Structure 1
Amino acid sequence: MKFLFVHQNFPAQFRFVAQALAADPQHQVAAIGAQNSRTLPGVRLQQYHFEEVGVAAVHTFARRFDQEARRAEQVLYALNTLEHAGFRPDVVVAHSGWGETLPLRSKFPRARIIVYCEFFYQANGQDVHFDPEFPILGIDGLTGLHARNASQLLALADCDQGLSPTPWQRASYPPEFRQKIAAIHEGVDTDLVRPNPASQFPLPDGRALTSTSQVITFVARNLEPLRGYHIFMRALPEILRACPQAEVVIVGGDDVSYGARPQDGRSWKEVFRSEVADAVDWRRVHFVGRLSYDAYLQLLQVSAAHVYLTYPFVLSWSLVEAMSAGCLIIASDTAPLRDVVRHGDNGMLVPFFDVRQLSATVVDALRRPQAYGALRARARATAVGALDRRDATRQVLSLILGDRT
C-alpha cells in the first residue's frame, strides 16, 4: 500500500506511525511538509515553500483562511509532483490545522483520509477568556476566532476518520463530529525517555546538576502566559526563600507560540522576570533557551520537581516525556491534564492561579523527596502502560488502515 503524510512540520505527531509503515517493505511511504520539515528513513519527503504574505486587503475575518488557502495551493503543487512520479496514495494522514487538507479529497477521491484533530477553537471553556488578567475578545475578535475553525470543519467533512491525542481535545470539537474522531495519543519512546540516576545537566557557569540536587524544571516552547510562565515566576520568590539549595532551570524561547504579544514590545519572559526582579536570587535561576533533545532529557532526569502549567489547551509533549522520565509532576488542575495526571497518584495537581499552593507544593517536594517517590514511579508506569509509542502506534495503524487489514 501507499501512504502519504501531510504536515507542515513533518514528522511531528506522525513520526512513530510513519516509521512503522516505512519499515515494512510492502509499503511505500511519502510525506509533504514545509521547508522546515525533516525526512525519516524510508520516507520520501516532498517539501513545499510557504511564506506568509500581506493580508491588509483581506477582510479581518478571512485572513487566516486566506493564508490556509495559499498553503493548500503549495500542497497541491507537491501532490502533483508526487503523482507525476507515480505515487498515488491509498491512505492519506494529514493535520487539519493549517489548510493543508483542503485539496486532498478532490485530488484523491478514493483514498482513505485521516485527519489529525488537535484543537477546535471556542470562545468559552478553553484557553480563550480563561485568564482574567488579559483582555477579553470583543465581537470582532470572537467572530475571527470562530472563523479559525473553517478549514478544520471542511477537513472533518471530507475525511473518513479523525484522530485526537486526548479525550478532552476530542471533546473540543462539535458533538456532531465527535463520533468520527478517535482519541489516541501518539505516544512517547519510553525506552529512550527513561529515568537515569547517573545523569548530569551542565549549567552555563560550569557546575553540573545531578539527581541529588534540588532541581526545579519548567519547560515550554516559548515562555508565555498560556503555559503558565507568569504563575511560575510569581511562585519563585517563596520557593527560593524556603529552599536555599534549590536551582531552577527554565527551558523555552522568547517568542510567542500562542496568544498575543506584550503591548510594550518586550517578551513575556522579560515582562514577568521584571515583575519579581527584586525578590529572586537570580544566581539560582537559569534561563537556558531551547535545548538539544539530549540535553533536554538530561535535564528531566535530574529534576526533583517538574512544574507544568497550562490554560485548557493542547497537551504538550514535554509533560508526557517528563512522566516517562520519572519526574515528580506538579501541574495545573486544568484540562487536558486530568486525562493523564491523577492527583496524589502519579502527580500533583494545583489550581492554575493559586501561586501560594504551587509554591507550597514545590517546597514540600524538595524538602521531603522520599514522600513523593511513589508518585514518580507511577508517573513512569503511566507512560509505559498507557502512553508507550509501540501500543500507540499499533492503535493508530489499526485506525488508519480501517477495513483494509
Structure 2
Amino acid sequence: MAQDPLCLLCVEPRFPGRLGAVADWLVRTRGYRCWFYCNGVGPRDHWPPSTGRGLEVVRFEVGGVARERSVPWTRSLERGLCYAYGAWEVLEARRPGPIDVVLGRSHGLGSTLFVPAFAPRAPIVNLFDYYYLPRSYDLADDLAHRLPPDYVRWRQSANAMDLLDLENGVLPWTTSEWQRGLFPPEYRDDFFVQHDGVDLRRFRGEPRRAGSRSRAIAGRSVPEGALVVSFIAPEPDRLRGFDRFLSLSNRLIRERADVICVVLGGGPVRRGLDVEHFGADFGTLALRDDPPADPARLWMLGAVSPETVAELLRTTDLHVYPSRPFVPSRSLFEAMAAGAPVLAWDAEPVREVLDDGRTGRITPADDPERAALLALDLLADADTRQAIGEGAAAVSRERFDRDRCLSRLAGLLDDLAKRSYSPAIGGR
C-alpha cells in the first residue's frame, strides 16, 4: 500500500518556481516527504520554510542546448529533451524512494518525460501553464504586423514538449479554465483545474485608509496622506504591461500631488514571448521613452523579497494590473488577498478572476484615457476602494485560499497513490 504520509517527487526547472509553495504546504500540513529536483535555484529568501526539513532540494545538470539561455526555434524540442534527460540521470544516480506520486511542471521543458523509466508505476500529475497559439494572446496581437518569421515558426512548434507530456500518460493540471481552453479539444476533458492558492496569512493587516497610520515600504516612509499606486512583476516587462503602467502613473502624478507610484521587480526580460526585448532591460527602455513626470514620486524598488511584496500590497491604495492577455500573475491574486482595490486591463483571463465593480475594476485594453479616468475616480473615492478591496478579499478567501486549494490537490494525489500503488515503487 502507499506510504502514509506520502513520498512525493517534484520536478521543475527552477526552485522554488511554481511548485515550491505547493510542496512546502504538503510537507508542513500533510507530513509529506518531498524530493524537489531542479536545474536552478532562486534566492534563499524566496525558499519556503520546510526546505531542509522534509523538503529536500536536489539539483540536476543539463547538457547541450539546455545550457543556453535561448535557442533557435528549430532546437527548442532538443532543449526540452536535454532537461528531461538531466532529471532522469540524477534520479538514476540518487535513486530516491519510495516514490508514491510525482508532481511536475511541464513549462515547455518536459522535466518529467523520462521519470516513468525510473518509477514506471508512479502516477504523474503535471502542471501545464500555457498553450501557445501562433498569432493570439500574450504579445502576439500587439506584434502582429512585425513578428519575425522565425518567431512565428517557434510559436507553431513551442508546444511540442507539452504535447509529449500529455501523450506520456500524465494527469494534466492547470490553474484556470481559460488556460485549459487553450489546449487542443482532445485533451481538455482530462484536465484537473484548480488554482494553487495564496497564503492569506501573509496579507492580513489593518484596514487600509490613506493617512490613517504611518506606512513604510522597503524601509521608505510613505508621507502622511499620500496615495500609493502599485505595480508588481518579476521584471517590469511589456507582457505584464509596464509601459501601460508608466503612462498611467505619469498621468496620475501630474493630476494629483498626493500620488506615489511604486514598482517592484527588476532585471532583463526572460520570456522569449517578447521577441523585441528578450534579454534587454525593458524597464529602463520604457523609462527612457516615457520619463517619469516626477522621479521623486516613482519608486523603482527592483527585485525584493516576498515579505516586501506583502508589505506593499497591505499598504497600496490602488494596485494596477495592466497585463496583456496571459496567465494571471501571482501579484493579482495576492493583491486581492490583501484587500487592495485592483484596476486591470480587460482580457479573458482577467474576467475569470475579477468581477468588474465588485472585486475590481476592468478597463478596456485599448483605451488609456478610460484607464486614467477610472484610476482617478478610485483614488478620489476611499469608500469605493474599500468596498472593492473587501469584495476581493472575500472572493480570495472563498476561491484562492491556499489551504482550500491545496487540500483539493492533496486529495487528488492521495487518491491517485492509493489506486495505483502496488507494489511500492523505487527504492524497495
Matched residue, 1:130: 141
- Asked if structure 1 preserves the Cα contact closer than 8 Å seen for 2:66 and 2:80, the reply is no
Identity of aligned residues (%): 24
Matched residue, 1:116: 127
Q: Does 1:188 align with 2:202?
A: no
CA distance in structure 2 between the partners assigned to 1:328 and 1:360 by the alignment: 15
Matched residue, 1:306: 319
Q: Report the residue type matching 2:259 in the other structure.
A: A
Deviation of the 1:351 alpha carbon: 1.5
Deviation of the 1:344 alpha carbon: 0.4
In the alignment, which of 213, 221, 225 is matched to residue 207 of structure 1?
A: 221
The two structures, once aligned, show a CA RMSD in angstroms of 2.7
Matched residue, 1:75: 87
Give secondary structure in 2 for the equivalent of 1:226: coil
CA distance in structure 2 between the partners assigned to 1:375 and 1:89 by the alignment: 45
- Asked if structure 2 preserves the Cα contact closer than 8 Å seen for 1:19 and 1:41, the reply is no
Q: Does 1:3 align with 2:8?
A: yes
Matched residue, 1:251: 264
Matched residue, 1:322: 335
Deviates most, 307-316 or 393-402: 393-402
In the alignment, which of 296, 311, 317 is matched to residue 283 of structure 1?
A: 296
- Asked if structure 2 preserves the Cα contact closer than 8 Å seen for 1:301 and 1:325, the reply is yes
TM-score, structure 2 as length reference: 0.85
- Asked if structure 2 preserves the Cα contact closer than 8 Å seen for 1:195 and 1:326, the reply is no
CA distance in structure 2 between the partners assigned to 1:263 and 1:202 by the alignment: 29
Q: Report the residue type matching 2:215 in the other structure.
A: Q
CA deviations over 1:7-58 (Å, ceiling 9, x no partner):
12233332444234434787532221123165352122221134774899x9
TM-score, structure 1 as length reference: 0.90
Residue segments in structure 1 that go unaligned for 5+ positions in a row = none
Provide closer, same or farther for how the CA distance between residues 44 and 135 of structure 1 changes in structure 2, counting only shifts above 3 A.
same
In the alignment, which of 140, 148, 166 is matched to residue 156 of structure 1?
A: 166
- Asked if structure 1 preserves the Cα contact closer than 8 Å seen for 2:139 and 2:274, the reply is no
CA distance in structure 1 between the partners assigned to 2:27 and 2:258 by the alignment: 49
RCO comparison, higher one (Cα < 8 Å, 6+) = 2
Deviation of the 1:145 alpha carbon: 1.4
CA distance in structure 2 between the partners assigned to 1:264 and 1:101 by the alignment: 27
Q: Report the residue type matching 1:192 in the other structure.
A: R
Give secondary structure in 2 for the equivalent of 1:207: strand
In the alignment, which of 32, 40, 45 is matched to residue 35 of structure 1?
A: 40
Deviation of the 1:202 alpha carbon: 3.9
- Asked if structure 1 preserves the Cα contact closer than 8 Å seen for 2:123 and 2:416, the reply is no
CA distance in structure 2 between the partners assigned to 1:364 and 1:311 by the alignment: 23
- Asked if structure 2 preserves the Cα contact closer than 8 Å seen for 1:193 and 1:324, the reply is yes
CA deviations over 1:177-218 (Å, ceiling 9, x no partner):
1111111000001122223345722467x53357x5300001
CA distance in structure 1 between the partners assigned to 2:279 and 2:128 by the alignment: 33
CA distance in structure 2 between the partners assigned to 1:310 and 1:65 by the alignment: 28
CA distance in structure 2 between the partners assigned to 1:64 and 1:264 by the alignment: 16
Provide closer, same or farther for how the CA distance between residues 222 and 261 of structure 1 changes in structure 2, counting only shifts above 3 A.
farther
Provide closer, same or farther for how the CA distance between residues 25 and 244 of structure 1 changes in structure 2, counting only shifts above 3 A.
closer
CA distance in structure 2 between the partners assigned to 1:344 and 1:59 by the alignment: 44
